[in-house]
Amino acid sequence: MSTSLFTAILFVLPILVGLVTKKVAQSWIKTLIMVVLTGVTVAVKRSLDNGDQLNWSLIPLWIQGITVTVASYYGVMSNIGLGSLAPNIGIGKAPADNAEIGGV
């Protein structure tokens, strides 16, 4: 997997997190899902690149991945609303009413 493709995948991971969690889900749940998805993405990249076993050399690549996903979320996705494309669907506690998710 090329570095540019890897970076592009990491850049859109916050959108995936937004699709699998509700808008009102607690932030630690969203963070945990993003950390796990980033770890899986890093492991897949390493396996596709050279078939290495998972070991401690993945840590710097994982830190790079976390940096890109967090930067893309706070720099782009949250500002234009792409971090919560499906606010009522996914993991997280159901909202008490529509006012919490921007409804009427």
**Tokens describing residue 104:** 């009427």
Q: Judge whether 27 lies within some domain.
A: yes
pTM for the structure as a whole: 0.69
* Residue 100 forms part of a structural domain: no
87 domain residue, yes or no: no
How many residues can be counted in the chain? 104
Residue 91 DSSP label: B
Has residue 13 been placed in a domain? yes
Residue 25, domain member (yes or no): yes
Backbone angles phi, psi at 22, to 5 degrees: -75, 155
What whole-number distance in Å separates Cα of residue 5 and Cα of residue 22?
A: 27
State which residues form the domain around 28: 3-81
Which residues of the chain have a pLDDT value below 70?
A: 22, 52-53, 78-79, 81-104
Instruction: Give me the pLDDT at residue 20, please.
Output: 79
pLDDT at 104: 42
Structural contact between residues 90 and 21, judged by C-beta atoms closer than 8 angstroms: yes
Is 93 a member of any domain? no
Number of domains in the chain: 1
Per-residue pLDDT at 103? 46
